[in-house]
Every structure is written in C-alpha cells, then in structure tokens.
A and B are shown apart, each in its own frame.
Chain A
Amino acid sequence: NAGVTQTPKFQVLKTGQSMTLQCAQDMNHEYMSWYRQDPGMGLRLIHYSVGAGITDQGEVPNGYNVSRSTTEDFPLRLLSAAPSQTSVYFCASKTDWTASTDTQYFGPGTRLTVL
C-alpha cells in the first residue's frame, strides 16, 4: 500500500490564482480530511468527508472547496488564492467515521506559498 499520497509537494501561486491539491489513499478508508498547519497553531481542520458523495466543513473552510466522487480521492480546491492561505496542507484518512476506529493516517503534505 502507498498509504496517503499528496501532490504536488511544493507550489507557489500568485494572489487570485486557482489550483487543486490532490489527495489519494489506497486503504479503502471511508473518512478523509484536509488540515492546514501554520507555525504555532497546530493542525486545523478545513473540510472532511465521511464517504463518497458526502463532505462537510471543518474549523477553517472559507476559501476552500472539496468534493468526494470516489472513495480513493479527496481533492482540495483553492478558487482564488490569498496570501493568508500560505501554509502546509495535510490530507488524512481513517477507516470510517465512527468512534471505534480513530487512527488517522497523514499524507506527506503540500507546502503552498501565495505571493
């Protein structure tokens, strides 16, 4: 298993540009999520999905869109990038959304800089 994969590893955007951060997992996990990591602030949840076709907002959803058309993929879209979105983005997955399975597996991250 490759686990959770993310592309690209690094990206530089200009303000107003759009892009999609890709995330895929090959563990047949129902639950997938996106976090952003900023210095001194830990990880903050952007959006999550409990299964194909189902998504919901996390703590900091503004400026980001997600979709979940397949179990494997959970892309994160920035429609109009802003400097405040400069961060490291992590995708994570776990078996399902119930309380009995809690271990989240994180991808390697995407470092995004918005100029």
Chain B
Amino acid sequence: GENVEQHPSTLSVQEGDSAVIKCTYSDSASNYFPWYKQELGKGPQLIIDIRSNVGEKKDQRIAVTLNKTAKHFSLHITETQPEDSAVYFCAARRPQGGFKTIFGAGTRLFVKA
C-alpha cells in the first residue's frame, strides 16, 4: 500500500544552524506534498507545500525540494530559531481514491539556544 517514510525521527540543532528532514513516498501517482508543523498541544499547521510539476519552492527560511524520479522530498530550514522547535510532518497525496493524504511519522526538531 501507499507509504511515506520520514527521517530522522528526532533532530537536534544549534540555533542558527540548518535543519534538513527527508521523506520518501511509494505511490508514483502522488502529486502534492505538504509539510506541517505541529506545536505542543496544537493541531498541525501547513507551512509549505510543493506540487509534482515543481522541483523546488522557497518561503523565507523554509524550502522544499522534490525529486520525482527518486520519489524523495525534503524540508530545509535555514538559520533555525528556538521557535522552530516542533514536530514536523511530511505528507503525500494522490489525486484519486478520495484524494487520500498519507503522512510520515513525524520529526521532532529541537533548536538549542
């Protein structure tokens, strides 16, 4: 069945360093890849997304890259700040079958001041 693998499960960086989270997906029909940030006690919130016809997208300190051939996509956070500490989820969505979105297991990011 469809699957999204996310690595690492935990990531600790020093403030100002970069953080990279990687995901792979199994369903080649997936065409939309959102990233969500979940702060403690809150629901996930979309922070950036990318569609399958684009290789890279950037929004200030956050960027996402997509390699369709390898079925990999990654989240890059530059100049990390303590408020970036949260759990990040990648996801992949296919356009058929009820537009099902499959989520990765999550990465807990700690940014040390």
Given A106-B43, A108-B41, check contact A43 B49 (CB 8 Å).
no
Partner of A42, one of B31, B42, B43, B104: B104
How many A-B residue pairs have C-beta atoms within 8 angstroms? Tell me.
Answer: 57
Query: A102, B93: Cβ atoms under 8 Å?
Result: yes
Query: A106, B106: Cβ atoms under 8 Å?
Result: no
Q: Could you say which residues of chain B place their CB within 8 Å of the CB of A104?
A: 34, 46, 101
Give Cα A41–Cα B104 distance, bound, in whole angstroms. 7
Query: A48, B43: Cβ atoms under 8 Å?
Result: no
Q: Could you say which residues of chain A place their CB within 8 Å of the CB of B43?
A: 4, 90, 92, 106-109
Give Cα A40–Cα B49 distance, bound, in whole angstroms. 22
Give Cα A95–Cα B45 distance, bound, in whole angstroms. 15
Q: Could you say which residues of chain A place their CB within 8 Å of the CB of B62?
A: none
Query: A44, B103: Cβ atoms under 8 Å?
Result: yes
Residues of B59-113 contacting chain A, CB below 8 A: 89, 91, 93, 95, 98-101, 103-106
